[in-house]
Amino acid sequence: MFKKKYVIEDKVNKGFLVEAGEILLQATSYLKKIDICTGDTIVESKLNSGLNIQKIEKSNDYYIGLASGKIVFFDCHLKLKEEKTIRYVGYHLYDQKYLVKILDYDYTTFKGKYSVFDLLSGNDLWEIDTGEMIKVDSNIAFTASSKEVGKRDFATGESEWTYEIDNENFVPELIGVFKDLVFFGLQKKDKLIALDLATGALKWERKSFPSLNRLDQEKGVIHSISNGYCKLNASTGEEVDTFIDQEYFKGEGVFSQRNNYAIDGDHLITTDYKKGVIGSFNTVTHKFDWLHEEKGVSFPAPSPIIYQAPYLLVHDNKGTLHIFEKE
């Protein structure tokens, strides 16, 4: 199903960008643009000492590198244009220009003050000091705490609705948005809830493991794969498919513990949580149509799996990027 093309072994950071037949990545102290087909370096530039880019985004005709406490801007030739020091949540850029900025944080209560920050204008759109986290999906702003979740007007921050939950001391996971629903995973309750996007009313809830859930926008379902497989109808919460055979998954050598697996039509491309095994699971036949093992490495859950037809990119625990091509 996939054949190995090549590897990039220069301590590649996991926040690489794949677009227009090219890979943009940081390898050691260099920013490189690589031809995805051949593996040849198109252009590279030396980075400032200590800069550790964790995510790269494209915005118009320039690149934005998200690093710890810093934002860096590069032109198409990878020449550094600007560098800003800023504290922000995660390594996520929304609508190519917005960040969730940390204004203050109390390490005794573990509560912070946050804002939605316009990176291009340098202005805060709005801020909250309730201790809730700001989360964004599909350019829609939500707030979340262990006690409630809510939706905010993206431009003004005005609260549109809130919904009470009980997730002990954990902030729930925002699974995604599909049509008129938003999904939150309550990790401490092993529960998945679907709320009406307009009103916040509960539409459905069911037992689930949020750390395994992946929303499939194209098919309108929520996948979950580990040492078994389950598929939910996103609109109704109805279980439309389930496959439980721990011995089969054990025999194939894949025990997945991630929710950032790649989706390729009817296939989920995931990895074993401990060994260097990659597999493409057919959700129709409930079989792995392709398996590949890399000796001496593993593929941790936070490391990305990117499928951009026909290329599959998988990042391992040693910083090597493995590139495959679909046959």
CATH number at residue 182: 2.130.10.10
Q: How far apart are CA 106 and CA 94, in angstroms?
A: 25
Helix then strand then coil, in percent of the chain rounded to 5, is 5, 55, 40
Q: How far apart are CA 327 and CA 284, in angstroms?
A: 20
Q: State the DSSP H helix or E strand holding residue 232, giving kind and residue range, or none if neither.
A: strand 228-233
Token pair listed for 298 = 């593993």
Residue 52: inside a domain: yes
Mean pLDDT confidence for 306-322? 97
Residues 45 and 105 in one domain: no
Per-residue pLDDT band at 147 (split at 50, 70, 90): very high
Q: Note the pLDDT of residue 6.
A: 97
Residues 137 and 35 in one domain: no
Residue 298: inside a domain: yes
User: What's the pTM?
Assistant: 0.94
Residue 64: inside a domain: no
Q: Which residues contact 297 (CB under 8 A, 6 or more apart)?
A: 276, 316, 317, 318, 320
Q: Note the pLDDT of residue 50.
A: 86
Q: How far apart are CA 246 and CA 255, in angstroms?
A: 9
Q: Note the pLDDT of residue 10.
A: 84
Residue 154: inside a domain: yes
Token pair listed for 146 = 């262990």
Task: Please give the tally of structural domains in the chain.
Answer: 3
| Beta carbons of 144 and 133 less than 8 angstroms apart | yes
Per-residue pLDDT band at 68 (split at 50, 70, 90): confident
Residues 104 and 181 in one domain: yes
Residues 140 and 195 in one domain: yes
Residues 321 and 233 in one domain: yes
Residues 202 and 229 in one domain: no
pLDDT in tens, 148-173: 999 999 999 999 999 999 999 899 99
Residues 282 and 228 in one domain: yes
Per-residue pLDDT band at 106 (split at 50, 70, 90): confident
Residues 115 and 191 in one domain: yes
Which of 174, 208, 242 is the C-terminal boundary of a domain? Answer: 208
Mean pLDDT confidence for 289-302? 96
Containing structural domain, residue 143? 86-208
Residues 222 and 314 in one domain: yes
pLDDT in tens, 14-40: 999 999 999 999 999 999 999 999 999
| Beta carbons of 20 and 323 less than 8 angstroms apart | no
Task: Return contacts of 94-97, CB within 8 angstroms, 24+ apart.
Answer: 94/136, 94/139, 95/139, 96/57, 96/58, 96/59, 96/60, 96/64, 97/59
Residue 37: inside a domain: yes
Q: Which residues contact 295 (CB under 8 A, 6 or more apart)?
A: 276
- What's 304's domain CATH number? 2.40.128.630
pLDDT in tens, 192-237: 999 999 999 999 999 999 999 999 999 999 999 999 999 999 999 9
Task: Return contacts of 6-12, CB within 8 angstroms, 24+ apart.
Answer: 6/39, 6/323, 7/320, 7/321, 7/322, 7/323, 8/34, 8/39, 8/320, 8/321, 8/323, 9/319, 9/320, 10/319, 11/319, 12/315, 12/319, 12/320, 12/321
Residues 242 and 265 in one domain: yes
Residues 170 and 272 in one domain: no
Residues 221 and 180 in one domain: no
